[in-house]
Structure 1
Amino acid sequence: MKLMKSDASPFVRKVVVTLHETGLLPEVTLIDVATTPLAPDSALIAANPMGKIPALLRDSGPTLYDSRVICRYLDDRAGTALYPQDRLWDTLTLEATADGIMEAAVLITYEMRFRPADMVFQDWIDGQWGKIARALDALETRWLSHLHGPLDMGQIAVGCALGYLDLRHDVRGWRTGHEGLADWYAGYAQRESMQATAPA
C-alpha cells in the first residue's frame, strides 16, 4: 500500500498514528505530496478527485480517501479494535468531534495563508474558532472519562487535533479553561506513535 501525505496535516497524522498503533506501518510506503487548495498535486487528483490528503492506494481495489475511511479500513485489516463494538457510537462521535476541530483549524490556516492580507475575513475566522472552542468545552465536560479509557480511534483523533492546535494556533491558548483535557494530552502526547509523528 502507499499513503499520499503531508506531515503538517492533522488528518494525515491521524492515519500515520493509526499505522503505528495497528502495526501496519511496515506494509505502507509513505509518499510526500506538495499540494494546496489552489495548486493540487496532479498525482493526488488522480488518486482522489477531491485533491485532498491523505489518500491510501491499495494493491487491489480503489484508492481510499478521507481519514475516517482509511483509519476504519486499517483497524479492520489489523484487527486491533480501535473501533470497539461496545462503545462504537461514542468512539465515532468523539472522532467526529476531533475531526471537526481539525477541519475548522485547517480552514483558519488556509484563510490566513492563501487569501491576500487585505481580503482576510476575520469574522469568518472567529466563527471557525468558535466551533473549536465549543468542541474543546465538550471534550472537557463530557468526554474526559472516555479519553482516559482504553485506546480507541476517538483518542487518536483528539490527540492529533490538539497537536495541530499547538502547531498552528498555539497563540490562542486552547489549554486555558480546559485543564483536564490539557492534563490528558500531556500524557497522551508521550505515546510512541505520537512522538514518532510529531511535525518538525
Structure 2
Amino acid sequence: MLTLRTSPASPFGRKVRIAAALLGLEARVAIVLADTGDPADSLRQQNPLGKIPALIAEDGEAIFDSRVIVEYLDGLAGGGRLFPADLAARIPVLTLQALADGIADAAVLQVYERRMREPAERSAKWVDYQAGKVTRALAALESKPPEAGATHVGAIALACTLGYLDLRFAGEWRTGHPKLVAWLDAFAAAVPAFAATHYSA
C-alpha cells in the first residue's frame, strides 16, 4: 500500500489524488493527513522540507513533490497515461502544469501571509506581488484555454488550482474568465474524481 501524506485543502495533494483515480490506482493509496505546522508530525522526517504532499512508497521511500509523485504513479500504471510520450506534445503539458502549480504557489503564499502573520506585520506589497502572478497567469490561460476533454497532468493541475481559488478566494477568479469557467465545468463533468476530492472549509 502507498501512503499519501496531505491535507484535504491542498491543491497539490488533490492533484495526486485525482491522478491516482484516473490511473486506476486509488485503491492502492491510503490517505494519511499531515499537519505542516506541527513539529512532531512525522512529515518532517518523510520530507525534510516539511511540505505536502509526500508519497510513501511500499519500500518506505518518500517521494515528493506533487510533480514527481504524479509521474511516479503514471509509471506504476504503465506510463504515458498522464504524460504524453511524444516530446512535442509533452512539453506543452508540462508547461501547463508549471503554470498551474505557479498559480497555486502564489495563492497559497497569500493565504499563509494572512494566516501566519499578525495584521500589523503583513506586507501588502508581498501580497500584491503574489496576486499579480495569479492575475497574469489567469489572463494568459483565458486567452488560450487548454483543450476541452484533456485529462493529462497539466489539466489536472489547472483544475485543482482553480478549485483552490474557489475555496480560498471565494471564486473571484470566475469574473472575467468565462472560457476558464467553461473549461473547468467540462473537466469536472468528465472526471468524477474532481467532485469526489472537493473540500469545503
TM-score range, shorter chain: over 0.9
Alpha-carbon distance in structure 2 between the residues aligned to 1:11 and 1:98? 10
Q: How far did 1:157 drift? A: 0.3
Structure 1 residue ranges, 4+ long, deviating more than 4 angstroms after superposition: none
Aligned length: 195
Match of 2:12 in 1: 11
Aligned partners of 1:33 and 1:41 also within 8 Å = no
- TM-score, with normalisation over the residues of structure 1? 0.92
Matches within 5 A, 1:70-109: 70-79=69-78, 81-86=81-86, 87-109=89-111
Structure 2: runs of 5 or more not aligned: none
Give identity over the alignment, percent: 44
Structure 1: runs of 5 or more not aligned: none
1:59-101 CA distance string (max 9 Å, x none): 1262101000000110111135210123100000000000001
In structure 2, relative to structure 1, the CA distance for the partners of 1:41 and 1:104 (3 Å cut) is: farther
Q: How far did 1:183 drift? A: 1.0
1:149-178 CA distance string (max 9 Å, x none): 53211100000000000000126x212221
Question: What RMSD over aligned residues (CA atoms) do the two structures have, in Å?
Answer: 1.4
User: Residue type matched to 1:197 in 2?
Assistant: T
Q: How far did 1:5 drift? A: 1.0
Match of 2:141 in 1: 139
In structure 2, relative to structure 1, the CA distance for the partners of 1:149 and 1:196 (3 Å cut) is: closer
Match of 2:42 in 1: 43
77-86 vs 12-21, which moves further: 77-86
User: Residue type matched to 1:35 in 2?
Assistant: T
Alpha-carbon distance in structure 2 between the residues aligned to 1:114 and 1:179? 33
Alpha-carbon distance in structure 2 between the residues aligned to 1:40 and 1:147? 42
Q: How far did 1:148 drift? A: 1.4
